[in-house]
Amino acid sequence: MVYKDEYVLAFMDISPVNQGHLLVIPKNHYAYLSEVPEEIAARMFTIGQKLAKAIRKSGLKCEGINFFLADGEAAFQEVFHSHLHVFPRFKGDPFKIDADWSFSPTREELDEVAKRIRCSF
């Protein structure tokens, strides 16, 4: 256990990307981020930010920090209790996100997608 308050817990990941990899979770069960009340989701990220600062100050190998939250099976969520990964990064570490970064939508496509999201907000 690294952190605990009345809303969230933070603890070491048992399958870390890098040394210092933490998980921040709500104390109550919510499978998906959309189920987490806004104030608790905000708390997860606030504590994540403070833990990121602590990782940087800890002396662990750290050239950067990633926050990663997998929401749904297609997004690689394996544990269905919403959780925020906070982990140190450094050049040459094993974490990779592989995608086709060459796709460039047109301005019209971007505007249409933005409109669809805005109308569903």
Burial of 8 (0-12, 13-18, 19+ CB in 10 A): buried
Domain ranges of the chain: 3-120
Which of these is catalytic: 21, 29, 81, 83? 83
Phi, psi of 116 (to 5 degrees): -60, -40
Reported as a single tens digit per residue, the pLDDT across 14-36 is 999 999 999 999 999 999 999 99
pLDDT band at 48 (very low <50, low <70, confident <90, very high): very high
State if pTM tops 0.95. Answer: no
* Domain 3-120 falls under CATH 3.40.640.10: no
Reported as a single tens digit per residue, the pLDDT across 59-113 is 999 999 999 999 999 999 999 999 999 999 999 999 998 888 898 999 999 999 9
Mean pLDDT throughout 43-65?
98
Catalytic residue check, 29? no
